[in-house]
Structure 1
Amino acid sequence: MTMPPASRLRLSVDLDALGSNYRALARLAGPAACAAAVKAECYGLGLEQPARRLWAEGCRDFFVATLPEAAQLRALLPEARIHVLNGVLEGEVAAFRALSAQPVLNTPEQVALWRQAGGERPADLMLDTGMNRLGVRPEEVAGLDLSGLNLDIALSHFACADEPGHPLTRRQADRFAALSAGLPARRRSLANSAGIVEAPAALFDLARPGIALYGGVVHPALEGVLRPVAKAEAQVIQVKTVPAGETVGYNATWAAAAPTRLATLAIGYADGYLRGFSSRGQVVVRGVRCPVVGRVSMDLVTADISAVPAVQPGDWATLLGDGIPLAEAALWSGLSQYELLTLLGHRYERHYCAERPAVRETEAPHPEAPEHEARVTL
């Protein structure tokens, strides 16, 4: 049997770090339970092994964006509670029922659709508390007919929790507490990754971290709490020395001030390493940070390796993780940490690493949130 050729791109996912991050966030969220956002294939890292690890750590509620994502997850985790954030449309009810997936109902029309189809299956209700993206508007809540509806979670989503002290966070928490108080929902959920630490008084029954699970530090209070999960690497495919005055890359945007040793790497914007890194990003080669020079192109990036003369074709350069923090790369590129992870393409050879075994099924998972009324005093 012919072996497939090896990729010149590697994406390493540290499952132990993922488990550590989930446990840290669950501790911060307590006594609320801790869910996991696994949409977009766990923010670009691949669905199967990260989702299984989160289940082993005790996670029981998983949030995806779309119905096809719910189908993928159901095949992996038959017992999980799967919540579909983008809601349900005409023609999709049968698929939701077959998958035992819970739609997040975002409009009065979706509420009516689910009721008419037989509202005995669990569903969730999104309240728009100020983000104005998805959800039932405050003035529409009183007119909702929720009779016969098996309502599991009433939820909303913080817009600015990653900006400490932003006044909208308090307003959203207060609105959510008031709007959800009279609803026949078993649980309430508001806090995302940043909200867990920015608004601990508004944790309610269930926290829903996403980017923080995968190592994204989106709030100062998470510094030093989370471990990096992803490491993206590209292979060096050519090394050369150019004389002073020579330019590099499309449109000749960078010129060598002195004779410069260059490495060309097998990565580009087709792999999620976008043009924002041009002459701004850095890579780590043989333990040394080296600047990206010239324009990032579709499949190639050039770095100044003058400080590391031993570099040869076949060596690996790190572009994210292991010396290149996600938050720092975001600053260089002008992208968010979310974009950096979810844009990683399909040409990476993915490796999943775990030094310790996952939590055994017999070990106690993070407990379900007790019935309680959360007080909001931010």
Structure 2
Amino acid sequence: MPLKTRPCWVEIRTRALEDNYRFLRNLAGLSVECLAIVKADAYGHGLGLCAPAAVRGGARWLGVTSVEEGAAARAACPDARVLVIGGVFPGQEPAVLEHGLTPVVWDLWQIDALEAAARGAGARGVKVHLEIDTGMSRQGVALEHLPEVLARLGAEPVLRVEAVMTHLYASDEANGDTTGEQLQRLEAAVKAVRGAGLEPDLLSVGATAALLGGTAEALLGGLAARWGMRPMVRIGLALYGLAPEFDPDFAAGEMPAELQSARGALVPVLEWKTRVVSVREIAAGAEVGYNGTFVATEPMRLALLAVGYADGLDRKLGNRFSLLVRGQRAPLVGRVSMDQAVVDVTDIPDVVPGDEVVILGAQGAERITAFNHAEAAGTIPWEVFTGIGVRVGRVEVR
């Protein structure tokens, strides 16, 4: 008999992910290649569930962080192209070839190591994507060092530059000034790439915010067309059902049609749930949780939940956030513990052990989003999703 597990789980609606991909693919346009981002265990949703769902939705490309994730994506999706966005660490080059992965490169040592591995395996024309640092100062070759990298890549056709890419680090800023400066640097880089005799097929520029912010045509069409390349867009947060917020957000009547459409069409893929463990009455003056940060001012009824900060429920949410019980908001009282939390159900009738509690998702007419969690905890939705602990089971719900 299977072991009954602690009641804290995540439900993944894979059909919603498929539909989200199709919607975004159509929004980008049929001439645009779309890279479905499934890195960081599919933003905490579960790579084993989400990568195949993206492929079923029509994705030909999957984006992962590491070679390890790439191997897992390859096992789940034998026919997909898998891009290792975070590059290759020393000693991982044979695994890149073994699993048919496409690495991003930007440093000479990466090129040397991959070329040596390819020669050892008798491989030629191994495809790589060259990343350009256009201002983020994080990953990618800086423009001043680009000539030596291009000289190395053009010296021997063991490696083939299939794509040039960059990361737009402020595409969620509505004014677009930073993005415009980045694109100018990118155009100079593409010119140098072509001048070195390299002929990449793809220009990978922009993520979800660029696509939905109304600048996709300029980012994905104009620049790529000028250099005879196909545009590629990286689809991340929106794939999982959330349209990004912009800073500042668009005023009424100024919202791009793409963003307005997405906010109405995208469906959240993940719901996070637990159950009531027990219910107790406390008297006025009783303290709740570690260090007594909550003191009852009147008799109360409390429900103990099987979820804590080790599961990903941010400790900062104690005394400042609510969860859903029987379709109503139940405030978290006291500090969130490692494995447990307590909510006030005084005004929610008939709560009993075993009742389902929604941490993130919908119940009745109420909904809690990753944006709600992020605002209360002072973070971003990406961290909310990826912070859900590995001990929280991911369950597929079609």
TM-score, shorter chain, exceeding 0.5: yes
* Distance in 1 between residues matched to 2:244 and 2:300, nearest whole Å: 37
1:161 aligns with 2:171: yes
From 298, 302, 306, the counterpart of 2:338:
298
Q: CA deviation at 1:352?
A: 1.0
How far apart are the structure 2 equivalents of 1:117 and 1:275? 46
Find the residue that maps to 2:276 and give its secondary structure. strand
Shift of 1:243: 1.7
Shift of 1:249: 0.9
Q: Please, which of 290, 293, 296 is the counterpart of residue 256 of structure 1?
A: 296
Partner of 1:187: 202
SS in 2 for 1:196: helix
Instruction: Give, in whole Å, the separation in 1 of the partners of 2:90 and 2:388.
Output: 33
What does residue 8 of structure 1 align with?
A: 7
Separation in 2 of the partners of 1:262 and 1:180? 61
Compute the displacement of 1:7 (Å): 2.8
Instruction: Indicate the residue corresponding to 1:120 in structure 2.
Output: 125
How far the C-alpha of 1:34 sits from its partner, in A, is 1.1
Which whole-Å deviations, capped at 9, do the CAs of 1:219-272 have from their partners, x for residues lacking one?
Answer: 353433321110001111011121222221111111222222111110001001
Secondary structure of the structure 2 residue equivalent to 1:143 = helix
8 Å contact from structure 2 (residues 66, 88) kept in 1: no
Query: What is the CA-CA distance between 1:72 and the residue it aligns to?
Result: 0.8
Q: Deviations over 1:97-133 (max 9, x none)?
A: 1111111002233233334444621111111111111
Give the corresponding residue for 1:359: none
Which residues of structure 2 form unaligned runs of 5+? 119-123, 194-198, 225-230, 247-258
Q: Which amino acid counterpart does residue 28 of structure 1 have in structure 2?
A: L
Q: Is the 8 A contact 1:277 1:292 kept in 2?
A: yes
Map of 2:348 onto structure 1: 308
Aligned to 1:213: 239
Q: Distance in 1 between matches of 2:99 and 2:281?
A: 58
Residue 397 (structure 2) aligns with: 353
Offset of residue 293 of structure 1: 1.2
Aligned residue type for 2:318: S
Alignment partner of 1:230 is 2:270 = yes
Deviation of 1:27 after TM superposition, in Å, equals 2.1
Q: 1:267 aligns to what SS in structure 2?
A: coil
What is the match of residue 152 of structure 1? 162
1:132 matched to 2:137? The reply is yes
| Counterpart residue type for residue 316 of structure 1 | E
Contact 1:108/1:136 (8 A) holds in 2 = no
- Quick check: 1:343 aligned with 2:387? yes
**1:346-371 Cα deviation digits (max 9, x unpaired):** 222322122xxxxxxxxxxxxxxxxx
TM-score between the two structures when normalised by the length of structure 1: 0.89
Q: Distance in 1 between matches of 2:311 and 2:34?
A: 32
- Label 1:217 to 1:307 Cα distance change in 2 as closer, same or farther (>3 A): farther
Is the CA contact 1:163–1:219 (under 8 Å) kept in the aligned structure 2?
A: no
SS at match of 1:142: helix
Against the structure 1 CA distance between its residues 143 and 349, is the aligned structure 2 distance closer, same or farther, given a 3 Å change threshold? closer
Q: Distance in 2 between the 1:18 and 1:237 partners?
A: 32
- 1:40 alignment counterpart: 40
Aligned partners of 1:280 and 1:291 also within 8 Å: yes
Do the aligned partners of 1:164 and 1:219 also contact (CA within 8 Å) in 2? no
- Residues 263, 305 of structure 1: 8 Å contact kept: yes
CA distance in 2, matches of 1:226, 1:135: 32
TM-score, structure 2 normalization: 0.85
State the one-letter code of the partner of 2:380: S
Structure 1: which 5+ runs fail to align? 355-378
Q: Cα RMSD (Å) of the superposition?
A: 1.6
Q: Which structure ranks higher in relative contact order (CA pairs < 8 Å, sequence separation ≥ 6)? A: 1
Q: CA deviation at 1:182?
A: 4.1
Answer with 161-170 or 71-80: which moved more.
161-170
Change (3 A) 1:189 1:233: same
Paired residues, number: 353
1:141 partnered with 2:146: yes
**What corresponds to 2:254 in structure 1?**
none
Deviations 1:325-350 (A, max 9, x none): 11112111222101111111122232
Which residue is equivalent to 1:54? 54
Whether contact under 8 Å (1:217, 1:327) holds in the other structure is: no
Q: Please state how far the C-alpha of 1:52 moved relative to its aligned partner.
A: 0.9
- Larger helix fraction of residues: 2
